[in-house]
A and B are shown apart, each in its own frame.
Chain A
Amino acid sequence: MSMPNNPDNYGLRLVTRYVVLTVIAIIFAFPLVFMIMSSLKPDQQLLADTSSLKAFLPVGDISFQNYENAFSRVPVGLFVFNSMLVTSVTVVLSLFVCSLSGFSFAYLKWRGRDLLFSIILATFIIPFETIAIPMLLITSKLPWIGLDGFSIGWLNTYRVQIVPFIADGLTIFLFVQYFKDLPVELIEAARVEGTTWWQIYRLIVIPLSGPVLATAAILKFLVMYNQYLWPMIVVQQEEYRPVMVGLQYFFQTFTKGGIAWGEIMAYLSMITVPVLAFYLYIQRAFIASVAATGVKG
């Protein structure tokens, strides 16, 4: 690191930078603080506090009653388990399938490769809502052989929430772009040594792909954890519902006293924990990937 020309000026700039960043951090933390503080207050107080700074402070009638009520209204544990299961399985399978696909597009030469890649890129512009109904009709007629024998229809299962989302254009695109930027000499040298494509993928490319794996994992995690429309139409039994469908349990018209905002905040606080934990766990790799993407070209 080179020394600054003017240490005093450097110090001032440093302080200014920290002040600005701290203010920005506080602004970004406000919604989270509001959510957690509100989850501890009764509805009347919560709504009354929204017009003042009290909304961000643990003042007044503080308790965990909203958490207790949320558990009695919604099977929180079951829904979080379902979401975590569906999300984690999808993320793992997606990283494997999409990285393989990206590897193929980046390094292998085969007929129709560029055309197929263009088609995959084109899927970016198709909103999920437009294909939800055809997907519903297809999955409701798909066969399955499981422990309980042969059956038709995937509705009301975990697999109907997982399989359609394993491969997607954005994740494949991320891998292709990242793989293309890896030193091609490594691949060529390995090929000269007689290494198979599978060995190159497994022993050379993947160990160098930590940042893109982290980025793809976070993006897929967020998409899957926030799934609402698809599980709402393909899951009719409560035992398979995810957290976002569970959120709708709190918006009932005939609830005495109106919508239970405190319970909603308590529920949101609980279901936000896994997302934050996952992000904090791999944030370094994520930032590294984004930073690397930013200096390319």
Chain B
Amino acid sequence: MSRIKIFSLVNVLMLSLFFTKAASCQTELTMWWHAAGEPAQMALVQELVDEFNASQSEWKVVTTAFPQIAYNDAVVAAGLAGTLPDIIDIDGPILPNWAWAGYIQPLDIDESLIANYLPGPKGVWDGKLYGIGMWDAAIALVTRQSYLEELELRTPTLEEPWDAKEFQQALDAAKNSGKFDYALDLGMAWTGEWYPYAFSPFLQSFGGDIVNRSNYQTAEGALNGEEALAFGEWWQNLFTGGYAQAMQDSADRDIGFTTGKYAFTWNGNWAALGILEAYDDTIFLPAPDLGYGSKIGAASWQLSISSTSKHPDGANAFINFALQPHNLARFSEGTGLIPATAVAAELTNNYRAGGSMEVFFELSDSQGMLRPVTPGYPVMAKVFEKALADIANGADVADTLDAAVDEINANIQQNKGYGHK
């Protein structure tokens, strides 16, 4: 081998060592994500992480995925054991609880990136931003244009949604047509967070709420006042009146609407693409205005930084990187979820002006309402779920709501008001 070749070989080896060394000099940041078992979303996460790792030489994000059902328990367990990662994704309504419990710390985000954000993806607790989402999710009353025409119903709009009377007329028309097993699919096969996310907006549209939001110290009057009682009677009538099922199996929830069993389905934008494939005249209607405006749930998964992270600057750098509009758009295109800004929405096929799911962005922007922003929310959510399930199955409305109020209030007192000022 000639001397030049040996020299070249040594040079190549030296350079390789240098670059290997440079790459390994990146400080590792650990990140937990809730979507194990969802290959499409995990591929997007990995793509984002790879781009961030390649974009600079200081930080290297390493992702661990968890199944969503087990995720919150795993994070709480890690919080107790002191093994939280640097970056955690977190479901919006749980955020105040984790901030209050000391699991996460405030973010340091470039304000220009979130200046025109939808309200839902901002995770604020105690006046500080603890979490920021790349997307939001929204619910609509889904039906077919042909059904509305057959039933001789007006097509409601964002500006002029159905009021309570019109909604009842729509349900009556669907029921009396004899064409459907039930007029409305509420998704009763789903449990847990679905209840407060999907159904508490009905309560809020009646003028009630899960808790009094002026100080979050009591549910008295909010969950058992006159408006809440009216909501409870209305809710029970949906089932006793034969408009919806109190007990629903998963098969009906998954394919009931697309097989003609229901006239309307109360469902989220994540299911929209599948429904659009089944019916080309699918339309997404705004929530009915039951007296106090049309409401839907807001807030989905958000990025946050653990309080034990030794590298919050690196974690913040990653989150700032992730919030760029093209990243928001990429996640939306890959998952069907609503991009967090109008700029990003314009970069997508589904949510840009004229896109098949544009209405969801508008719904989220104009009707989205956060679930109670309080550390007590996880308990309130479970109490609310039980109360609504009981009422749907025939329990006395007033007694059930009073019991729910007592349980929520007792929990607030046990936790000394959850730190609300």
Contacts and interface: CB of A to CB of B under 8 A. Distances in A.
The judgment on whether A and B are partners is yes
Interface of A: 43-44, 47-48, 50, 72-74, 133, 136-137, 140, 153, 155, 232-234, 236-238, 245-246, 248-259, 261
A253 B38 CA distance: 9
Given A44-B255, A236-B78, A236-B83, A254 B67 contact: no
Interface string B38-53: 1111000000000000
B82 A256 contact: no
- Tell me what chain A mostly uses at the interface: helix, strand, loop, or mixed: helix
Contact of A256 (B68, B80, B336): B336
Contacts of A44: 255
Contact of A259 (B64, B74, B254): B254
The 9 closest A-B pairs by CB, nearest first: A249-B37, A248-B67, A233-B77, A140-B81, A47-B251, A258-B254, A257-B274, A254-B270, A252-B38
B2 interface: no
A155 B81 contact: yes
Contacts of B39: 72-73
Contact of B74 (A236, A249, A258, A261): A236
Interface string B63-76: 01111111001100
Contacts of A140: 81-83
Interface residues of B, number: 37
A50 B270 CA distance: 25
B38 A236 contact: no
B74 A232 contact: yes
A253 B64 CA distance: 19
Nearest to A74: B37
Interface of B: 32, 35-41, 64-70, 73-74, 77-78, 80-83, 249-251, 253-255, 259, 270-271, 273-274, 335-337
Given A155-B83, A232-B73, A256-B270, A251 B67 contact: yes
A205 B65 CA distance: 48
A258 B253 contact: yes
Contacts of A43: 254-255
B36 A249 contact: yes
18 contacts: A47-B254, A48-B251, A50-B249, A50-B251, A140-B82, A153-B83, A155-B81, A155-B83, A232-B77, A238-B64, A246-B67, A248-B36, A252-B35, A253-B68, A254-B336, A256-B273, A261-B250, A261-B254
A133 B80 contact: yes
Nearest to A47: B251
B38 A254 contact: yes
B388 to A, nearest CB: 19
A139 to B, nearest CB: 8
A137 B82 CA distance: 9
Nearest to A44: B255
Contacts of B255: 43-44, 47-48, 258
A237 B64 CA distance: 7
Q: Which of A133, A256, A261 counts the most B-chain CB atoms under 10 A from its CB?
A: A256
Given A43-B254, A255-B38, A256-B273, A136 B336 contact: no
Contacts of A137: 80-81
A136 B81 contact: yes
A248 B69 contact: yes
B69 A251 contact: yes
Given A73-B37, A140-B82, A252 B68 contact: yes
Nearest to B192: A253
Contact of B73 (A47, A233, A250, A257): A233
Contacts of A256: 40, 270, 273-274, 336
Which one of A44, A74, A155, A249 has the highest number of Cβ atoms from chain B below 10 Å of its Cβ?
Answer: A249
Contacts of A253: 68, 270
B83 A251 contact: no
Contacts of B64: 236-238
A72 B78 CA distance: 28
Contact of A254 (B41, B70, B74, B77): B41
Nearest to A43: B254
Contacts of A248: 36-37, 67-70
A47 B248 CA distance: 13
B158 to A, nearest CB: 24
A236 B71 CA distance: 10
Contacts of A258: 250, 253-255, 271, 274
Contacts of A238: 36, 64-65
A250 B69 CA distance: 10
Given A232-B73, A248-B36, 13 more contacts: A47-B255, A73-B39, A136-B80, A153-B83, A232-B70, A248-B67, A248-B69, A250-B37, A253-B270, A257-B274, A258-B253, A258-B274, A261-B251
B74 A233 contact: yes
A72 B37 CA distance: 9
Nearest to B35: A252
A48 B259 contact: yes
A254 B337 contact: yes
Contacts of A252: 35, 37-38, 67-68
A256 B69 CA distance: 17
A254 B37 CA distance: 11
A151 to B, nearest CB: 13
Contacts of A255: 38
B266 to A, nearest CB: 15
Contacts of B274: 256-258
A48 B251 CA distance: 8
A265 to B, nearest CB: 13
B67 A245 contact: yes
A93 B68 CA distance: 33
A257 B270 CA distance: 9
Nearest to B65: A238
A9 to B, nearest CB: 47
Most chain B CB inside 10 Å of its own CB: which residue of A140, A233, A236: A236
A268 to B, nearest CB: 14
A99 to B, nearest CB: 33
A269 B254 CA distance: 22
B68 A251 contact: yes
Contacts of B271: 257-258
